[in-house]
Amino acid sequence: MKLAYWMYAGPAHIGTLRVASSFKNVHAIMHAPLGDDYFNVMRSMLERERDFTPVTTSIVDRHVLARGSQEKVVENITRKDKEDHPDLILLTPTCTSSILQEDLQNFVDRAAMEANSDVLLADVNHYRVNELQAADRTLEQIVRFYIQKAKKQNSLVTNKTIRPSVNILGIFTLGFHNQHDCRELKILLNDLGIEVNEVIPEGGSVLNLKNLPKAWFNIVPYREIGLMTAVYLEKEHQMPYVDITAMGIIQTEAFIRQIAKVLNFLDKSKNYNFDHYIDQQTRFVSQAAWFARSIDCQNLTGKKAVVFGDATHAVAMTKILVREMGIRVACAGTYCQHDADWFREQVWGFCDEVLITDDHTQVGDMIARVEPSAIFGTQMERHVGKRLDIPCGVISAPVHIQNFPLGYRPFLGYEGTNQIADLVYNSFTLGMEDHLLEIFGGHDSKEVITKSLSTQSELNWTIDAIAELNKIPGFVRGKIKRNTEKFARQNSITDISVDVMYAAKESVGA
């Protein structure tokens, strides 16, 4: 058992449902108790979805516990088949059905005989994989199913398109800025003269999956979801894939160069060279290179930042901060523990320390210890930042509704670099303005009680001492407070007076 009240990645079935509801005309049926369909609320609220989320539940109740689901699951599948005529019905196990160990595959086989739709059982184990791994797996499972089906029916399209073309794998519902990223990638590919063959799963149709091999190669924008599918397609259909995340100027350049390499390998008749395009975009379309050169960014040199998020975004952000803006990343971390080796390898040399954990209190304590000038993390880190008075830019899921902006906010491609530059700059200037205000006695109504997050301080500050503390400029106040408290603890002092403060100051020789 684990004591927890917050998690970065959701349970496995959420990943499966995200895949299912991203495709057009695919219906997921959860084998779950009443109330587990919270996914529908999230999709309806966060994505502000206009359509009914194509997820229903075959409810597990007392009767099911007593005598098994029997006909219930099959009936629910065939009923949905008649009501909505989906192309595919995906039976989704949950933690509950994992323990019940009913033969869901048997139900699926029986229902498949009756239903016009295809019926699949999502192959995920609740206790072994999380949301992201499950989504990756389910996408691969669906692609594999339809490719094999097409092969059997001899309807698989294997002849390549005349012009170079790609599939984009891994654009999802409830993904962090995925819709905007997808649009930006399409723009970029269009500029390079590359057609987009299929985008899956978001907005894609399972009936079109047989066309996947038509494309020359695949693009996997995010590390977490889509890679398994790309590997499968490479193995089965010799389709190369590009898995460099086009986030930041340098990475976008690497992404485009990798595409050129793949194209030159596939098509020896032409010489694909995008150097001119990269140069033009970098210098004039994206403002990020110029921003990095401008006096604004000079002021950020050597400032301390902490980065935490999913592997893709945390790695890309770390590299951008260090290589493109000259910011010092004191700690880079991810909650994608299953991908820890890759993460370490990627941020090697770019940060002082690496933190791999899915325990948000560890992340909070790390931030409190490092005291960065800005945090780039998830919504959880944003709240840690609020408590500690450190500005935070949100760069990764898990997210709130404000991370589903209506306006165009990609993180990928050249427009993405502009967005990121704004995000970084706004985070830091807000912090600096705040400090200036405090130095000149501006707003000082709030008092930070303690900077440690997991344990409450048992120390009392006298009124005089608090007044003295408030005279100290904001940006060092936290440090002085902590040093004093450390001193008090070491000397078993419970009440901190002005005297104690100065004794502490002397003891550290400052």
Partner 1 sequence: MSIAQNDSLKFECETGNYHTFCPISCVSWLYQKIEDSFFLVIGTKTCGYFLQNALGVMIFAEPRYAMAELEEADISAQLNDYKELKRLCLQIKQDRNPSVIVWIGTCTTEIIKMDLEGMAPRLEVEIGIPIVVARANGLDYAFTQGEDTVLAAMANRCPSKECNQDNDNSSKSVVKNTGETKTLDIMQGNEVLPISSDISVKNALTKMPSVLPQGSNLVQDFEQQEHPSLVLFGSLPSTVVSVLTLELNKQGINVAGWLPSQRYSDLPILGEDVYVCGVNPYLSRTAMTLMRRKKCKLINAPFPIGPDGTRAWVEKICQVFGIIPKGLEEREIKIWQSLEDYLSLVRGKSVFFMGDNLLEISLARFLTRCGMVVYECGVPYLDKRYQAAELNLLEKTCLEMNVPMPRIVEKPDNYYQVQRIRELQPDLVITGMALSNPLEARGITTKWSVEFTFAQIHGFSNSRDILELVTRPLRRNQIQHFSAKSLVKSTGVTKTLSRDVSLMN
Residues that bind partner 1 (CB under 8 A): 1-7, 10-11, 13-14, 32-38, 40-42, 44-45, 48-53, 56-57, 59-62, 65, 76, 83, 94-96, 99-100, 126-128, 130, 380, 383, 386, 400, 455
Side-chain-side CA neighbours of 223 within 13 Å: the count stands at 22
User: How many Cβ atoms are within 10 Å of 301's Cβ, its own excluded?
Assistant: 10
Nearer of residues 15 and 393 to partner 1, judged by Cβ: 15
For the bound state, the minimum distance from the C-beta of residue 267 to partner 1, rounded and expressed in Å, comes to 39
DSSP code per residue over 165-181: EEEEEEE-TT-TTHHHH
Contacts 24+ apart (CB under 8 A), 34-41: 34/59, 34/61, 36/94, 36/96, 39/13, 39/14
Residue 126 vs 186, nearer CB to partner 1: 126
β-pairing verdict for 374-377 and 392-394: parallel
Q: Cite the active site residues.
A: 296
The distance of closest approach from Cβ of residue 429 to partner 1 in the complex, given in angstroms and rounded to an integer, is 25
36 annotated as belonging to a binding site for a ligand: yes
Q: How far is the CB of 34 from partner 1 (least distance, A)?
A: 4
191 is in an annotated binding site: no
- CB of residue 92 to partner 1, shortest distance in Å: 12
Contact 251, 316 (CB under 8 A): yes
CB atoms within 10 A of CB 374: 27
Q: Name every residue whose Cβ is closer than 8 Å to that of residue 146 and which is 6 or more positions away in sequence.
A: 206, 207, 209, 210
Cβ burial, residue 64 (10 Å; 0-12/13-18/19+)? buried
Nearer residue to partner 1 within complex by CB, 65 or 508: 65
Q: To the nearest whole angstrom, how small is the minimum distance from the Cβ of residue 35 to partner 1?
A: 3
Name which of 99 and 437 has its Cβ closer to partner 1.
99
| Residue 372 token pair | 């960065």
Q: CA 425, CA 408: separation in Å to the nearest integer?
A: 18
Whole-angstrom Cα distance, residue 38 to residue 431? 37
Q: Which is nearer to partner 1, 210 or 360 (CB)?
A: 360
To the question of whether residue 275 is assigned a binding role by annotation, the answer is no
Residues 427, 412 contacting (CB under 8 angstroms) = no
Q: Which residues fall in the annotated binding site for [4Fe-4S] cluster?
A: 36
Which positions make up the binding site for substrate? 431-432
Per the annotation, binding residues are: 36, 431-432
